[in-house]
Amino acid sequence: MSKSFQKVVDRKALPPRRDPYWMKLSQGNYLGYRKMESDSEGTWTARSYDSLSGQQRRQPLGDFSEYPPSERFDLAKKAAEDWFAHIGKGGALGTYTITSACSAYVDHLISRGKESSAADAKSRFDSYVLDDAQFANLELTKLTPAHIEAWRRRLRDRPVTSGKNKGQKRSESTLNRDMTPFRAALNHAYGDGHVTSDFAWKKSSCPLRMQTNSARFI
Whole-Å CA distances, 123 to 116, 186, 196, 206: 11, 16, 27, 21
Number of domains, the chain: 2
| Same-domain status, 109 and 80 | no
> In the predicted model, is pLDDT for residue 103 greater than 90?
yes
Is the residue at 93 inside a domain? no
Do 206 and 105 share a structural domain? Answer: yes
DSSP state of 116: H
Indicate whether 166 and 77 sit together in one domain.
no
Higher pLDDT among residues 207 and 186, named by residue: 186
For the segment 86-98, the average pLDDT, to the nearest whole number, is 80
* Strand 43-50 relative to strand 29-34, pairing: antiparallel
Order of strands, sheet of 21-26, starting from the edge strand that comes earlier in the sequence: 21-26, 29-34, 43-50, 55-62
Out of 41, 66, 88, a domain closes at 88
Instruction: Select the highest-mean-pLDDT range: 13-22, 90-99, 148-157.
Output: 13-22
CATH number for the domain including 68? Answer: 3.30.160.390
Is 120 in the same domain as 158? yes
| Closest by CA position to 32, among listed 66, 70, 68, 83 | 83
* Rounded mean pLDDT, 44-59: 87
Range of the domain at 103: 98-216
Which of 40, 69, 88 corresponds to the end of one domain? 88
Q: Whole-prediction pTM value?
A: 0.61
**34 and 105 in a common domain:** no
- Assigned domain for 23 exists: yes
